[in-house]
Amino acid sequence: MTNDKQLAAQALAAVLDNALSEAEITNLLETPKKSEMGDLAFPVFSLAKTLRKAPNMIALDLVEKITTAGFEKVVATGPYVNFFLDKSATATAVLSGILTQGTAYATLAKNGENVAIDMSSPNIAKPFSIGHLRSTVIGDALAEIYSKIGYTPVRINHLGDWGKQFGMLIVAYKKYGNEAAIRKNPISELLKLYVQINAEAAEDPTVDEAAREWFLKLENGDAEALALWQWFRDESLVEFDRIYKELGVTFDSMNGEAFYNDKMDEVIDILSEKQLLTTSNGATVVELEGFENPALIKKSDGATLYITRDLAAALYRKRTYNFAKSLYVVGQEQSGHFKQLKAVLNKMAYDWSDDIHHVPFGLVTKDGKKLSTRKGNVILLEPTIQEAVKRAAAQIEAKNPDLANKAAVAHAVGVGAIKFYDLKNERLNGYDFNLEEMVSFEGETGPYVQYAHARIQSILNKAAFKPESVLGQIFSLSDDESWEIIKLLQAFSDVIARAARTFEPSVVAKYAINLAQAFNKYYAHTRILEESDERDARLSLAYATGVVLKESLRLLGVEAPTEM
């Protein structure tokens, strides 16, 4: 089916005598800010130099020549050619497409290409906090979005299970640790040890030195160090798995940093063969043009760093998954690290380094203050989820006490509220954590969108609506509010494409809010169930809106209950 942008681009290309290609025209098409200005607008400024005319005259000339087939009208407004869509034809095409395809609407066929997504990646022996939420839910949403447009996502949980912090933890355990207490309550006890030893290290530099020595032992396979590390790791994964289950997030790989411990020698050998390694103050580095500092591959004591392991991981992932894109959903404070990673891979002559993308995000704060595990200032995710579900349950009890599956719905709403609130914020914008605002059924929240979806299901159930019963009909709707919904539904595929192109799930979340708001406005002014010539069209519009709301929420990892 030719969409309306294609139709407008074809109509313009036919009268522009190759001045612009269809693709160039499509890229220039805009959506007017006011609906009375039309549904699509083409700015003619770029043609002024070529045609040697004032832009408003060019617009008038084009309108005289354009064939208006498929459009209600085409008019010139100053330097713009404005297209008004044929409302009935557009509504029929959009609604028929959704009635036929259901949630498969706007899905593209698999193209056989993989997208590797490095996401979540919590540190072993530390509690799973709100700080880890962003990487987890942004990465999971991007996986669903890329799957929707034809790719196969590979979700990779690159666990923070290696590094000097384990030397620090081993020092703490040997100084203060109580095995029985850790076995009883592993994560909270390990966190206490970690906070205590970091406070001590701030005052006593010998603690830091001892931690470096223990990590070097760990890298060299020391039996005691490995046994303690394995114990800390196993206990952590039990807690992480429980939280991932709560969030409904799964992974294709749990290979953390430690997995690459025996794969770094190859990287160093390749760098050496390509004559890229130099020595600086006893450390092994790769000099990089345009960077203030070189890439530090090995410290003077022989210990490796994040970038060494990330180079090994990048090579492993390319060989294993042959990715078309490799995304790293990691906080924006690591931007410099990923620029260096790409630069080193580029110097190694791997052209696929261009397919690596750092997907940065801003911080979550509480009362405007930065959170820090090291300082013991964290919001733990598991009790936060429990509190969100409790608050959702209280609202459901007040609104619909006879709901049959209240516990399941409360869980879907509570967890969905936390995820949606995170994802509606543009990645690079941090946000201040506010659970009350997250779980509210009013405002730009997940529960608001879920409630709109549930309301639609109630309407459709009352009407005993079946999509197959209206297939083949011409749908005409006379009001402006339904037209706004039609245009939003038509834009769904463009929304998904933009979200994928910009690695920005907030595009989908904001779209879902806009669609829910548009439907609620329509619902407030229209008797959908009333017998009229438009009843089938109104019910079809409600059904289509419900389908797209449900699919939008699914792309964000949020459930869409049918009752609330």
Domains of the chain: 4-85 (3.30.1360.70), 114-370 (3.40.50.620)
407 in helix, strand or coil?
A: helix
Look up the pTM and report it.
0.92
d(C-alpha 305, C-alpha 259), whole Å: 14
Res. 560: pLDDT tops 80: yes
Please give the radius of gyration of the chain, using alpha carbons only, rounded to the nearest integer. Answer: 28
CB 439 within 8 A of CB 391: yes
Contacts of 47 (CB under 8 A, 6+ apart): 16, 19, 20, 53, 55, 58
- pLDDT (0 to 100) of residue 373: 66
Residue 378 confidence class, pLDDT cut points 50, 70, 90: confident
pLDDT digits (tens, 9 = 90+) for 163-202: 888 999 999 999 999 999 998 888 889 989 998 999 999 9
Q: What is the DSSP string of 19-86?
A: SS-HHHHHHH-B--SSGGG-SEEEE-GGGHHHHTS-HHHHHHHHHHH---TTEEEEEEETTEEEEEE-
- pLDDT (0 to 100) of residue 405: 94
Scan for tokens 């590390």, then name that residue. Answer: 229
d(C-alpha 548, C-alpha 504), whole Å: 18
pLDDT digits (tens, 9 = 90+) for 70-81: 899 999 999 999
Range list of H helices, 400-491: 406-424, 435-438, 446-463, 480-490
Contacts of 425 (CB under 8 A, 6+ apart): 362, 431, 506
CB 141 within 8 A of CB 505: yes
95, amino acid identity: L
CB 462 within 8 A of CB 509: no
Tokens of 59: 């617009």
Contacts of 365 (CB under 8 A, 6+ apart): 371, 430, 431, 432, 433
d(C-alpha 261, C-alpha 263), whole Å: 6
